[in-house]
């Protein structure tokens, strides 16, 4: 069965437009609470990023959970991985994050963690959707008054998570003498991330760290690297760290101002762990991972497999192979011997540890991997009823691109699981061919999609 409301990272959409309405989110909370309560659940933990809509959606979720007889603990703005961590340490029965991650402020979303800090399975989400559909059609129920869930607020959540992050950094190392620029994306880690690095000894310059409810991810953070590149060069910093709105995604900038993406971060971590005999198997990437990563790992006899796009699918492959390191080129990095989900701050600390242990700058560490030219074009579509990917014109264009690439590249075409986008990715040895073939296919898709 396919899921109706859950995408690759929870439920997401434009605020005020179904399904991201207060009524829907209240019923979603009730459905999740009812499913969880069947197993004896009594309390869930709810956190959010800095979007103004978080207040409305938090209240709606609280009402839904209470009606299902489930109490809630509210932690306020906190990175997504922080919610996963606290869900486990507080022995809550589930965790909820109100965030649309890297999306603009007018979007928002709801994602869930199980009691052990991991994302819900497809089976659990299907069970929730069945009950949610009933609530949407016939209304949601409510337990007796004496069984209603209660709400409490946890005031020291940020401090607890800061200490956890610091605990993943080797105690024998210090960031003293290192100058870092940290782009907080006006998001959930705007206070936490600078504190982590500075408490470990770094000279920290925080940028985009004054959220106002509508500036999250706006021309900053892991999806807009220009401001971080400029700041690293301006301050002559050792490197820069960019987070996204909920701090589960990381991109970096070396001291020369060059962007270091998720593939390069994976390579650095894999090589460092392998040299110490601590890799525990291989590395999981995705269909979007650059072929250069695969080739570089192969040269070092490090196994590599590709998962479907989405960190939940990377996690599935890691668990299947009993490996610990995986991620996406977009910056979702999973280091399972440290955390249970993608964590930008923890991943950055592992990179910083690798730098210190090697004695080399970031610009040198990434040189062992050579990326092939890769072109990604996102085409927005407005009518979900149009089956763009199976249109004859699109299929013909795909065949033409694949014929042109032959054995010198690859094509990936897919719908985004979090936004109304069709992603066209072309990889080729020749940069000009890569760009031209991606543009040709994107033009056909725009025409078919009416974009």
Q: Tokens 């001291």 appear where?
A: 255
- Residue 302 is predicted with a pLDDT of 98
pLDDT grade, residue 41 (50/70/90)? confident
pLDDT of residue 227: 97
Integer Rg of the chain from CA: 22
Residue with tokens 């062992």: 368
pLDDT tens figures, 421-450? 899 999 998 899 999 999 999 999 999 887
Q: d(Cα 140, Cα 30) in Å, to the nearest integer? A: 7
Query: Which two tokens mark 365?
Result: 């560490």
3-state secondary structure of 276: coil
The answer to whether residues 206 and 218 touch, using CB atoms and an 8 Å cutoff, is: no
Q: Catalogue all structural domains in the chain, each as residue range(s) with its CATH number.
A: 11-156 (3.40.120.10), 166-368 (3.40.120.10), 374-449 (3.30.310.50)
Q: For a pLDDT cut of 70, what percent of the chain falls above it?
A: 99
What's the CA gap between 85 and 396, in Å, rounded? 47
**Helices 344-358 and 262-275, interaxial angle, to 10°?**
50
| Interatomic CA distance for residues 252 and 361, integer angstroms | 12
Q: Which residue shows structure tokens 């269909």?
A: 287
Q: Cα(336)–Cα(334) distance, rounded to whole angstroms?
A: 6
Mean pLDDT rounded to a whole number for the chain: 94
Residues 96, 120: Cα–Cα separation, whole Å: 11
The DSSP 8-state label assigned to residue 252 in this structure reads: E
Q: How confident is the model at residue 406 (pLDDT cuts 50, 70, 90)?
A: confident
Mean pLDDT of 75-93: 94
Residue 55: which pLDDT band, with cuts at 50, 70 and 90?
very high
**Per-residue pLDDT, 25:** 98
Catalytic residue among 53, 101, 209, 330: 101
Report the candidate in 288, 203, 287, 256 with the shortest Cα–Cα distance to residue 365: 256
State mean pLDDT over 245-272: 98
Q: What is the mean pLDDT of residues 364-374?
A: 93
- Could you write out the DSSP letters of every residue in 113-130? EETTS-BPPHHHHHHHHH
Q: How far apart (Å, rounded) are the C-alpha atoms in residues 58 and 54?
A: 6
Cα separation, 48 vs 98, in Å, equals 4
Q: Is 227 a catalytic residue?
A: no
pTM for the model stands at 0.88
Per-residue pLDDT reduced to its tens digit, 163-200? 999 999 999 999 999 999 999 999 999 999 999 999 99
Q: What is the mean pLDDT of residues 215-241?
A: 98
Q: What is the pLDDT of residue 415?
A: 86
Q: What is the mean pLDDT of residues 296-306?
A: 97
User: Region 197-216: what's the mean pLDDT?
Assistant: 98
Residue 40: per-residue pLDDT: 75
* Average pLDDT score over residue span 198-224: 98
Give 306's strand partners: 285
pLDDT level of residue 1 (50, 70, 90 thresholds): low
């Amino acid at each position: 069965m396919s899921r109706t409301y859950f995408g690759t990272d929870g439920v997401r959409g434009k605020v005020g437009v179904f399904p991201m309405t207060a009524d829907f989110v209240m019923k979603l909370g009730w459905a999740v609470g009812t499913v969880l309560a069947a197993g004896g659940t009594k309390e869930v933990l709810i956190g959010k990023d800095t979007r103004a809509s978080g207040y409305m959606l938090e209240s709606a979720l609280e009402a839904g959970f209470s009606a299902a007889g489930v109490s809630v603990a509210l932690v306020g703005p906190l990175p997504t991985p922080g919610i996963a961590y606290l869900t486990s340490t507080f022995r809550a029965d589930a965790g909820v994050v109100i965030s649309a991650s890297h999306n603009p402020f007018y979007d928002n979303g709801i994602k869930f963690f199980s009691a052990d800090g991991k994302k819900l399975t497809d089976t659990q989400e299907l069970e929730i959707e069945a009950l949610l559909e009933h609530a949407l059609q016939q209304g949601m129920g409510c337990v007796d008054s004496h069984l209603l869930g209660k709400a409490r607020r946890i005031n020291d959540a940020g401090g607890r998570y800061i200490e956890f992050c610091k605990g993943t950094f080797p105690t024998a190392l210090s960031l003293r003498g290192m100058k870092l620029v940290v782009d907080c994306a006006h998001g959930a880690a705007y206070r936490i991330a600078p504190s982590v690095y500075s408490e470990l000894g770094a000279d920290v310059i925080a940028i985009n760290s004054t959220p106002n409810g509508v500036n999250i991810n706006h021309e900053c953070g892991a999806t807009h690297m220009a401001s971080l590149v400029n700041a690293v060069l301006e301050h002559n910093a050792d490197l820069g760290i960019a987070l996204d709105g909920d701090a589960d995604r990381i991109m970096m900038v070396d001291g020369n101002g060059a962007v270091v993406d998720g593939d390069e971060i994976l390579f650095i971590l894999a090589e460092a762990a392998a040299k110490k005999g601590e890799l525990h198997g291989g590395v999981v990437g995705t269909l979007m991972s650059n072929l250069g990563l695969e080739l570089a790992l192969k040269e070092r006899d490090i196994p590599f497999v590709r998962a479907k796009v989405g960190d939940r699918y990377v996690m599935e492959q890691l668990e299947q192979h009993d490996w610990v390191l995986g991620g996406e080129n977009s910056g979702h990095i999973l280091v399972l011997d440290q955390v249970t989900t993608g964590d930008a701050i923890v991943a950055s600390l592992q990179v910083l540890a690798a730098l210190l242990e090697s004695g080399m700058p970031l610009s040198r560490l990434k040189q062992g991997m050579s990326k092939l030219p890769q072109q990604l074009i996102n085409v927005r579509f407005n009518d979900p009823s149009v089956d763009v990917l199976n249109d004859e014109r699109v299929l013909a264009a795909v065949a033409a691109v694949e014929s042109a690439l032959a054995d010198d590249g690859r094509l990936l075409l897919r719908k985004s699981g979090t936004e109304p986008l069709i992603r066209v990715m072309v990889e080729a040895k020749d940069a000009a061919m890569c760009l031209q073939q991606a543009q040709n296919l994107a033009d056909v898709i725009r025409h078919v999609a009416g974009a």
